[in-house]
Amino acid sequence: MARNISFKQAINEALDLEMRRDPTVIVMGEDIVGGAGSPGETDAWGGVLGVTKGLHAKYGGRLLDTPLSESAYIGAAIGAAACGMRPVAELMFLDFMGVCFDQIMNQAAKFKYMFGGKAKTPVVIRAMVGAGFRAAAQHSQMLTPIFTHVPGLKVVCPSNAYDAKGLLIQSIRDDDPVIFCEHKNLYGLEADVPAESYAIPFGEANVVRDGKDVTIVGYGLMVHRALEAAEKLAKSRIEAEVIDLRTLSPIDLDTVIESIEKTGRLVVVDEANPRCSIAADVVAAVTQNAFQALKAPPQMVTAPHTPVPFSPVLEDLYIPSADGIAAAVSKITKTALAA
Amino acid sequence: MLDERIKPIVMPKWGLSMSEGKVTNWLKTVGARLAPGDEILEVETDKIAGVVEAGDVGTLRRVIGEPAATYPVKALLGVIAAEDVSDAEIDAYVAGYVTPAAGAGDDQEAGPRYEFAETTAGSIHYARRGEGAETIVLVHGFGGDLDNWLFNIDALAGKARVYALDLPGHGQSTKTVGEPSLAGLSSALTAFMDAVGIDSAHLIGHSMGGAVVLRTAIDTPERVKSLTLIASAGLGPEINAAYIDEFVAAATRRELKPVVEQLFDDPGLVSRQLVDDLLKYKRLDGVADALSSLARALFANGRQADLLAGDLAELQRPTQVIWGANDRIIPSAHATKSDSARVEVIDDAGHMVQIEKASRVNELILTHIMR
């Protein structure tokens, strides 16, 4: 039965249901219990934003508060995965990948290949991504392109509570390492979510709005900005189709190209920096594979090529806005629609 | 005062979640003479597209709902009145019409109630609506759910007490199908009737649900007042095996949409939301097992395992069989497998004939149970 719950609750529920179903699922990270070994730990904080709250009371020792060393505990999680566990390690902010990236890129991503397909590494690394939280340059980046670049990793970035639960369950059941990116500004967003377990397959984009004039592609928070832009555009009689990629690796280009065959126009929105971004990747793939379908040059709406500013005013300007997306659409629809 | 000679055409409410709908196309123009059941305009909801039909005799005097515009449920879309009603009277009616607020009126007005019954077969999700001396139970088919009766529940509830349930393994009911057989599903149906206090009822089954109610009538005739079998399984050996296999296997919208389109004579009725809702159901833990165990038990090797047409002849229960002439799942030739049943084959309809030709099917059901 579906109820209205938040993105954050959906993540908690996915962890809860999978821990109940499969005793090899363990959860580890800094402060994910938030008081291990101290009185009152059963009612502890449950991570910096409380996502894992309440799980310790149910699963006790299967939640591990780790030392402040990403290289140690991400490495431990990857090793445990290689030995038959299904660990979900919380990296807190994806920005902290720097200190443990060798474990992820050179170990987890490579085991299956280096051992001739005999090794599997079913680890999930959960982390917060994205700007708008007033957390400055080292806690606000959208680093999805870096992980998408590495073969052997799967990269997920949901935009809503329903997808967050189903994609996290799929991530835990998947036999490959999964980087699960949670936009911190979506945690409070509610949606109808079934109480039961369900898994959403990787590599299926979601068409969240039908339109015939232009295709707007995004993921995570940007899906909502794109929908906002589509509503504005509808007032000028431009009907935008909005596609939520949901998973970046694997990526569902078929759905994108199918849409462009109808609309002929593409705008890709990415909160990441523009160079070598998901936006650049989608534009390149569409240009290469569906050039004949394009009626206008594809547009990218991304963050600028700078770190995330600490000034709230600049930070708001840094993140792609609905107006910015609408402007990019207008640029490639105006002449065509007037004709 | 509302003028009795002027009848509004309003945005219908199809199912609990519908709060608004989009007018897509008018099928009649001002001046058209209408009889009950005439199709007046097409409306699209986030679930499915459907047709608004005339409920009264009269002339279409005003077209108010604009194509491509969205209106709340019960908003005034048009006016039907006799020729002798003056334009001024109609203008006054239109000017004075107030769309009732969402949720206004009693529970009966707001659409069916959705509940859960705890039965010996597990938790069963169901909708109930209407009051009356007669009780109707609607049983959906393989992979379906009670929303397959979206266009039927309200119309039938005007004359009877209507229940529609999700079978085990389906919709929001338990995903545990005890015994994957017609007998197993039939015992879940009678367990449901026990739990909600139905001694006997007019059973209406669609597709696999038809075979379920037929099994119920054979095993426990005292629970059954009459049968309506719609595009029913259990009457002949043929079935579209590819449909069953592909429906069970489909994991993405891209895979599922063309499969579901086979259910309709007009594939345009399959909206993105309809496919998404089906996928949400199919992704739930336990559903894949439930569907494949039922498919193996009932439709192994591309044939229907249970053939009950012979038993039907011996049943002392009024039976009617309804089919869409263009059914691509179970051939409409099965409609005439029983000599004792009334048979109605409806043109321009596919397997989901109760959706595509809802008002005709509703009329047939009501006539049958009042007979």
Q: Measured between CA atoms, how close is A18 to chain B, in angstroms?
A: 11
Q: Does B77 reside within a domain?
A: yes
d(CA A142, CA A279): 12
Mean pLDDT, chain B, as a whole number? 90
Q: Does A6 touch chain B (CB under 8 A)?
A: no
B150 and B16 co-located in one domain: no
Q: Taking residues A306-328, what's their average pLDDT?
A: 97
CB within 8 Å: B175 and A194:
no
Token digits of residue B21: 């709908």
**Cβ of A257 under 8 Å from any chain B Cβ?**
no
In the predicted structure, residue A338 carries a pLDDT above the cut 90: no
B86 touches chain A (CB under 8 A): no
ipTM for the whole predicted complex goes beyond 0.90: no
Let me know whether B312 and B213 are in one domain.
Answer: yes
What CATH number is associated with residue B84?
2.40.50.100
Distance from CA of A96 to the nearest CA of B (A): 34
Does any domain span residue B140? yes
Same domain, B166 and B20: no
Under 8 Å between Cβ of B158 and B130: yes
Nearest CA in chain B to A199: B283
Judged against a pLDDT cut of 50, whether residue A339 lies above it is answered with no
pLDDT at A37: 61
The rounded distance, in Å, linking the Cα atoms of A156 and A250 is 9
In this structure, the answer to whether residues B44 and B163 fall within a common structural domain is no
Does A194 sit within 8 Å of B253, measured CB to CB? no
CB within 8 Å: B272 and A254:
no
Residue A254 forms contact with B (CB below 8 Å): yes
Q: What is the pLDDT of residues A108-167, one digit of tens each?
A: 999 999 999 999 999 999 999 999 999 999 999 999 999 999 999 999 999 999 999 999
- Cα separation of B365 and A219, whole Å? 48
For residue range B54-63, list pLDDT tens digits in order.
877 889 999 9
Considering chain A, what percentage of its residues have pLDDT values greater than 70?
96
Q: Which structural domain, as residue segments, surrounds residue B290?
A: 113-370
In a domain, B105, yes or no: no
The catalytic residues of A are: 139
Q: How far apart are CA A56 and CA B201, in angstroms?
A: 50
Q: How long, in residues, is chain B? A: 371
pTM of this prediction? 0.86
Going by pLDDT thresholds of 50, 70 and 90, the confidence category of residue B111 is low
CB contact under 8 A, A194 and B251: no
CATH class, domain A2-194, is: alpha beta
On whether both B175 and B74 belong to a single domain, the answer is no
Residue B145 contacts residue B175 (beta carbons within 8 Å): no
Q: Do A204 and B254 touch (CB under 8 A)?
A: yes
Q: Is residue B332 part of a domain?
A: yes
B84 touches chain A (CB under 8 A): no
**Interface check A313 vs B, CB under 8 A:** no
Three-state DSSP class for residue A236 = coil
Distance between A288 CA and the closest CA of chain B, angstroms = 22
Last residue of a domain, one of B44, B64, B96: B96
Q: Do A204 and B280 touch (CB under 8 A)?
A: no
Window 113-142 of B: residues touching A by CB (8 A cutoff) are 116, 125
B251 touches chain A (CB under 8 A): yes
Chain B residues closer than 8 Å to A210 by CB: 272
Query: Residue A193: its chain B contacts at CB < 8 A?
Result: none
Query: Amino acid identity, residue A165?
Result: K
Chain B environment of A204 (Cβ under 8 Å): 251-254
CA distance B252 to chain A (A): 7
Does A198 contact B280 at a Cβ distance shorter than 8 Å? yes
Q: What are the residue ranges spanned by the domains of chain A?
A: 2-194, 206-338
Side chain identity, residue A75: G
Q: Is B149 contained in some domain?
A: yes
For residue A330, the SS3 value is: helix
Residue B72's Cβ-count burial label (10 Å; 0-12, 13-18, 19+) is middle
In this prediction, residue A41 carries a pLDDT of: 61
Please report which confidence band the pLDDT of residue A301 belongs to, taking 50, 70 and 90 as the band edges: very high
Residue B38 has pLDDT above 90, yes or no: no
Which residues are paired to B39 by β-bridges?
B53
B163/B125 same-domain check: yes
d(CA B174, CA B291): 13
CATH class of the domain at A206-338: alpha beta
Which residue in the set B175, B254, B272 is minimally distant from A254, CB to CB?
A: B254
pLDDT at A227: 98
- B-chain residues near A162 (CB < 8 A): 280
Please determine whether the domains at A2-194 and A206-338 fall in the same fold group of CATH.
yes
Answer whether A338 touches B (CB < 8 Å). Answer: no
Q: Which of B96, B128, B147 is the last residue of a domain?
A: B96
Same domain membership, residue B118 and residue B16:
no
Share of chain B above pLDDT 70, in %: 95
Query: Residue A86: what pLDDT?
Result: 98
Share of chain B above pLDDT 90, in %: 65
Q: What is the pLDDT of residue B108?
A: 43
Position A43 pLDDT exceeds 90:
no
Q: Establish if B18 belongs to a structural domain.
A: yes
Report which of residues A183 and B84 the model is more confident about: A183
Distance from CA of A181 to the nearest CA of B (A): 22
Interface mutation vs chain A, best among B22, B280, B281, B289, most A CBs within 10 Å: B280
Option in A196, A198, A201 nearest B252 (CB)? A201
**CB neighbours of residue A260 within 10 Å:** 24
Q: Which pLDDT value is given to residue A108?
A: 97
| Closest among B100, B14, B3, B11 to B274, alpha carbons compared | B14
Instruction: Please indicate whether, in this complex, the C-beta atoms of A196 and B284 are within 8 angstroms of each other.
Output: yes
Question: Tell me, what's the pLDDT at B103?
Answer: 52
Query: Which residues fall within 8 angstroms of residue A206, CB to CB, at 6 or more apart?
Result: A163, A243, A244, A246
Contact between A198 and B125 using a beta-carbon 8 Å cutoff: no
Per residue in A253-279, pLDDT (tens digit) is: 999 999 999 999 999 999 999 999 999
The answer as to whether B103 is a domain residue is no
**Interchain pair A198, B172: CB under 8 A:** no
The model's pLDDT over B62-110, given as tens digits with 9 standing for 90+, comes to 999 998 889 988 899 999 998 888 999 899 899 889 887 765 444 444 5
Q: Which residues of chain A make contact with B254, given a CB cutoff of 8 A?
A: 204, 254-255
Q: Which two tokens stand for residue B147?
A: 């929303």
Domain count, chain B: 2
Could you read off the pLDDT of A132-145 as tens digits, one per residue? 999 999 999 999 99
Cβ of residue B253 closer than 8 Å to a chain A Cβ = yes
Token pair 């065959």: residue: A261
Last residue within a domain, chosen from B96, B122, B152: B96
Per-residue tokens: B224: 């059954």
Q: Give contacts of B250 with chain A, Cβ < 8 Å.
A: none
Report in angstroms the alpha-carbon separations of B242 from A210, B143, B249, B258.
29, 14, 10, 12
Kindly identify which residue of chain B lies nearest to residue A17, measuring between CA atoms.
B285
Residues B82 and B138 in one domain: no
